[in-house]
A and B are shown apart, each in its own frame.
Chain A
Amino acid sequence: MTTTELPLPGRRFELGRPRWPVVRRWSIAIGAHLAVIAIWWLAVIAFHVPKFIMPTPGETLRTLGDPHYAWLANAWATTIEIFGGYAAGVVTGVLGALAFSWSPIAEETVMPLFVSFNMIPKVALGPLFIVWFKIGILPNSLIAFAICFFPILLTMARGMREVEPELLDLVRSLHGSRWQLFTKIQLPGSLPFLFSGMKVGAIRAVAGAIVGELLGSAQGLGYLMLQVQTTLDTPAMFMAVILITLIGVVLYGIVIGLERIFVVRDARVK
């Protein structure tokens, strides 16, 4: 908090955030990425690293031209698994948090169960899911869901609880309803928490879907990695990792974009 009472006309408070022009920030970020790729390329050539250990960026990129790998179909399958499991995790997490907020009994009974279930390594459920639902997109989506849902529920539920007692007094002194407290204070107040949980969940959902594919699947980038591993096509494995990362980046970017729209800058949970 600053001791200056009134800011100069036309000036607003900037609390020590460096304000680089967007263009400059982006060019530095892109430049850093390109530099890493260049170092990778040079290192492989300079040290004569065999292709099956580490391919050059060019060799990696060229695998995209191989029609046997059905990149598009496999990437699509992985995308569906990640986004499907993640969407289910967000919806369930939010609904669960709302239910907890409205019914303390629900929270008291269900929460300890969730805490115990959360202790299960979700990856260990993979073989079971495959038995129950057969190899395919569904079990992998379920692993993604199981692994991302809990942090979303937990942070959102916490956000719903974090109402300053005095703010509660203010609403009560005006004889405000429970519904008004919910719509005007709790729900908007919990959004920053929700997004912080969603960011953690996004990264976990990607990992969950890929683990599912590695455990058993007939399509997807994880499945493809297992196939090309047997033929020692390391460039294709590199390419698969890059594509998985890109899918994750897109998902994360969507979450960040939604956060920018729905949460005021200062209210965001860092």
Chain B
Amino acid sequence: MTAAPVATEPFIHLADVRKEYHRPRAPSFLAVSNATFDVDAGELIALVGPSGCGKTTLLKILAGLHDADSGDVRIGNAAQRFDPARDVGMVFQQPLLLKWRRIIDNVLLPAEILGLPIGASRARARELLDLVGLSGFEQSYPYELSGGMQQRAAIARALVHDPKLVLMDEPFGALDALTREKMNLELLRIWQQSGKTIVFVTHGIAEAVFVATRVIVLTAGPARMAGNLKIDLPHPRTLAMRTHESFGAYTRQIYQLLGME
């Protein structure tokens, strides 16, 4: 595990969070109904479930992009103050790099928007590109990089302003299976080296169990939270663990919670 500060309070506290979308000419859509879970600082939480289970909605609520209709959402604690503008980093399914910017300038985008000192940010961006395995590509344009490499750059961009919370919405969903497995290992390495709290949305059950310290299981129709599993696999994780008995037990348990077994 990481050397996260031991706090009595959790870093994220959600209690009975509910969110409904009102749509014109259609019944309103219940996206999240009873989300209740805590996340400690330095954890890597996976939100797993089928499409329409509200995982992206929860992520947007954590990002401050949506308000919950009811329930408690609290981020930050005495040890780690949380500034909603500065302390969120986001990674999406698509890298969404700006085509006209070189990789280093893409990574710097959040620092520019926040008005951080550009010299220091540039140095930090270089370190991060090194961390994600892209040193030497600072001056490349996005089209010169493969999909996996572009997503690495997107991860560096999410870290450049040193946010306390990183939100990832199916970040490896668009990659091929092999690249995806490699990126899972990379994510674990980056997480351990950066010590960030990460919330990771995926519909891959094995992926969730493999990367996460805890898995929140969400079901669709009706949208509700079905489970909260602590994953007691040792760190650092290796691909060999995927054949462990306990790995299989966790995935089976999640399938059961999703009503698929």
Q: Identify the A interface with B (CB < 8 A).
A: 1-7, 12-13, 15, 164, 166-167, 169-176, 180, 184-185, 188-189, 191, 263-267
Bound together, the chains give a CA A207 to CA B85 distance in angstroms of 52
Per CB-CB distance, the 3 closest pairs between chain A and chain B, nearest first, are: A266-B143, A175-B85, A267-B99
Measured between alpha carbons, how far is A3 from B109 in the docked complex, in Å? 27
- Seed contacts A164-B96, A173-B65; 10 additional CB < 8 Å A-B pairs: A166-B93, A166-B169, A169-B60, A173-B88, A173-B90, A174-B114, A175-B84, A184-B98, A264-B100, A267-B100
Closest residue of B by beta carbon distance from A6? B149
Cβ contact of B96, chosen from A3, A170, A172, A188, cutoff 8 A:
A170
Q: How far is the CA of A184 from the CA of B113 in the complex (A)?
A: 9
Residues of A within 8 A of B143 (CB): 13, 15, 264-266
Residues 68-96 of B at the A interface (beta carbon under 8 Å): 84-86, 88, 90, 92-94, 96
Query: A13 near B146 (CB under 8 angstroms)?
Result: yes
A178 CB → nearest B CB, Å: 12
* Interface: B148 (CB within 8 A): yes
Picked from A1, A5, A13, A174, the residue with its CB within 8 Å of the CB of B113 is A174
Residues on A with beta carbons closer than 8 Å to the beta carbon of B92? 166, 169-170
Jot down 20 A-B pairs with beta carbons below 8 A, ordered by A: A1-B146, A3-B146, A3-B176, A3-B179, A5-B146, A5-B148, A6-B133, A6-B146, A15-B143, A166-B93, A169-B60, A169-B65, A170-B96, A173-B63, A175-B84, A184-B98, A188-B100, A264-B100, A264-B141, A266-B142
> Contact residues of B with A, CB < 8 Å?
60, 63-65, 84-86, 88, 90, 92-94, 96, 98-100, 109-110, 112-114, 133, 140-149, 161, 169, 176, 178-179, 182
CB distance from A184 to the nearest CB of B (A): 7
A169 to B93, CA, bound (A): 13
In the assembly, what is the distance between CA of A167 and CA of B154, in Å?
Answer: 11
Chain A residues with Cβ below 8 Å from B147 are: 1-2
Q: B60's closest neighbor in chain A, by CB?
A: A169
Q: Return chain A residues, CB-CB under 8 Å to B133.
A: 6
Chain A residues positioned under 8 Å from B176 (CB to CB):
3
Q: Closest residue of chain A to B92, judged by CB?
A: A166
CB distance from B56 to the nearest CB of A (A): 10
Residues of the A chain whose Cβ atoms lie less than 8 Å from the Cβ of B145: 13
Q: Which residue of B lies closest to A3 (CB)?
A: B176
If the complex has contacts A3-B178, A173-B63, are A263 and B100 also in contact, measured as CB distance less than 8 A?
yes
A264-B99 contact, Cβ under 8 Å, with A5-B182, A171-B113, A172-B65: yes
Task: Give every chain B residue within 8 A of A176 (Cβ-Cβ).
Answer: 113
CB distance from B101 to the nearest CB of A (A): 8
Q: How far is the CA of A6 from the CA of B146 in the complex (A)?
A: 8
